[in-house]
Amino acid sequence: MSKPILLTVDDDPSVSRAVARDLRRRYAEQYRVVRADSGAEALESLQEIRLRGDRVAVLLADYRMPGMNGIEFLERAMDLFPRARRALLTAYADTDAAIEAINVVDVDYYLLKPWEPPEEKLYPVVDQMLETWAAAGDPEIESTRIIGHRWSSQAHEVRDFLARSGMPYHWYTVEEDEGRKLLQAAGATEADVPVLLTAGGDVLRNPSLSQVADKIGLSTTPAEDFYDLIIVGGGPAGLGAAVYGASEGLRTVLVEGRVTGGQAGQSSRIENYLGFPEGVSGGQLTDRARRQASRLGAELLTARRVVGLETHGPKRIVELDDGRRVAAHAVLLATGVSYRRLRADGADDMVGKGVFYGSAATEAEACADQHVVIVGGANSAGQAAMFFSRQARKVTLAVRGPDLERSMSHYLIQQIRGNDRIDVRTCTEVASVHGDGHLEKLVLRDTSGGTEEDVDCGHLFVFIGAAPLTDWLPDELERDEAGFLLTGTDLLDSGRRPAGWAPSRDPFPLETSIPGVFVAGDVRSASVKRVASAVGEGAMAVSLVHQYLAHP
């Protein structure tokens, strides 16, 4: 059982660090301390904590925070953890606010800042709240349980899938007594791990993601054999198309190989997306889009890969990884991109064992007070650095280029520079990774001078490059030199249409060299690699599908 959590939120970084420091000094053996720098960030942390099935014992919130004050935060936090004890941190001039908090959100205490010495003004209050919380009890959230080896890539894959699907779970390792007891109770052995125990008592031994999806109630099989529109890929572009396609009356099915959200769904915080002035996590944004598409009538399949695409007259047929074939009038390819593999000695052997591609929120707890290294210089890497800096002792951002300005948004650069836990190292690459069964050390190389440095590190997150997921597509689909799909006027060579092009018209914008097959998002050649542009292309593609249906 993981430790119950004490969460503190304050927009003043120095105060936030001081509160966390004082709490860890006294309570670290029995409780885990989590800190956040805003109400929105704290709510995201609470949602992640709830997904993991962990418990929150105490919430400490500063009253004066921009965007969402302490009272508003505590009121919303009550919906997630109603039994957690609550305290408001106030200045002497804000005692009226403390009284309001007691009336509005049933705050247990208010603490006047500064509280020095903590032995007299902080610890007695927290002790009392913890005693009250323990006496009242805080039952565990009924959830799926996973048992596996701590450094198992298969177990990590299942945990990540559940978390990104919004399904609560508890994680136990076979190295701990509780994990071994659960294995025995389930009639399983270490040879079967990872083992998944559902809330209903079912046991899955080393399950595939499609088996997990079926068991937790996600759809993996299409309800029909023919649709107006098949969307391949569940990132922002695919979800945007699903929302608009379903809302405009098209029989729409979206097929996603893992879980909807794509790389954007892994982003810890997106602050430049229209309509979210306080920012939004990628998981929250894509979860809303998923629910919106379903409500409007789109069919969403998860953990089901598309492995083939064929043309038969007016029909476009896709083949799924289980052998099923589904047809439609039109197909939209929104498969996105994958991160390029790290070219460092030993890296491939450590995937899922300390080396991760993309942001793995499931590893956040394990990174507490550790040194984390992130490789990459674009927005996704910067967002990950900010996310892991909440709990990690130190975050090193290794950037191959000479600066961040070439590939990262200005707002994110400013946040990173103002975060004293993040160390940016430009002209740096990972030369090799080392460890006995899991990552323990890596070697960083200065590309400008060639010097190398050994760095102790248990977690390495990689965000480099963008490889298009197009290898499975037929050769008739024209690509650029990097493998991204060509569309529209980019297909016209000196005014001539693509070879084999049958219609008398030119290709529509976003249409490929196969009529009726469209592209949206990062997999399109020369696309803008931003969430907003991907969503826009998904919506635009639906309009073009209507034109195609009228003039094939």
Read off the amino acid at residue 108: D
pLDDT tens figures, 487-513: 999 999 767 888 889 999 999 999 999
The answer on 163 and 26 residing in a single domain is no
Q: What is the spatial distance between Cα 148 and Cα 284, in angstroms, rounded to a whole number? A: 28
Other CB atoms closer than 10 Å to residue 536's CB: what's the count? Answer: 17
Confidence class for position 246, pLDDT limits 50, 70, 90 = very high
Buried-exposed string 349-381: b where 16+ CB fall within 10 A, e elsewhere: ebbbbbbbbbbbbbbbbebbebbbbbbbbbbbb
- Is 368 in the same domain as 439? yes
The CATH number covering residue 112 comes to 3.40.50.2300
Which pLDDT does position 80 carry in this prediction?
84
Instruction: Tell me how far CA of residue 148 lies from CA of 213, 247, 440, in angstroms.
Output: 18, 42, 20
- For residue 517, being part of any structural domain is answered with yes
pLDDT of 140 above 70: no
Last residue of a domain, one of 85, 103, 136: 136
**Residue 114 above 90 pLDDT?**
no
Question: CA neighbours within 13 Å on the CB side: how many for 111?
Answer: 25
Cis peptide before 114 (omega within 30 of 0): yes
Quick check: 361 pLDDT over 90? no
Of 412, 440, 462, the domain-final residue: 462
Mean of pLDDT over the chain? 89
pLDDT of residue 332: 98
| Residues 167 and 71 both lie in one domain | no
Q: How large is the average pLDDT for residues 378-388?
A: 91
Whether residues 87 and 161 share a domain: the answer is no
- Overall average pLDDT of the 542-549 stretch: 96
- State the DSSP string of 125-158: HHHHHHHHHHHH--PPPP-EEEEE-TT-HHHHHH
Q: What is the pLDDT of residue 111?
A: 81
- Contact yes or no for 511/543 (Cβ under 8 A): no
At residue 275, the pLDDT reads 85
Whether residue 56 is contained in a domain is answered as: yes
The answer to whether position 220 is within a domain reads no
Q: Does residue 17 belong to any structural domain of this protein?
A: yes
408, part of any domain: yes
CATH number at residue 261: 3.50.50.60
Judge if 334 and 236 occupy the same domain: yes
Checking if the pLDDT of 200 tops 90, the result is no
**Domain limits for position 123:** 5-136
Please state the pTM of the whole predicted model: 0.77
Q: Virtual CA dihedral for 364, 367, 373, 375, nearest 10 degrees? A: -10
Q: Is 295 exposed, middle or buried (0-12, 13-18, 19+ CB in 10 A)?
A: exposed
Is 221 part of any domain?
no
**For the chain, what is the domain count?**
4
Inform me whether the pLDDT recorded for 98 exceeds 70.
no
216-234 CB burial, b ≥16 within 10 A, e <16: bebbbebeeeebbbbbbbb
Q: Could you tell me if 67 and 173 lie in one domain? A: no
**Given 439, 462, 485, which residue is the final one in a domain?**
462
- pLDDT over 80 at 401, yes or no: yes
Question: Are both 502 and 391 inside the same structural domain?
Answer: no
- What's the CA gap between 454 and 208, in Å, rounded? 37
| Co-location of 497 and 517 in the same domain | yes
186 shares a domain with 126 = no
Same domain, 423 and 318: no
Examine the domain organization and report whether 192 and 230 are in the same domain.
Answer: no
3-state secondary structure 316-368: EEEEECCCCEEEEEEEEECCCEECCCCCCECCHHHECCCEEECCCHHHCHHHC
Instruction: Give the pLDDT mean for 401-415.
Output: 92
- The CATH number of the domain holding residue 179 is 3.40.30.10
Q: What percent of the chain has pLDDT over 70?
A: 96
pLDDT over 80 at 101, yes or no? no
Residues 64, 96, single domain; the answer is yes
pLDDT value of position 138: 61
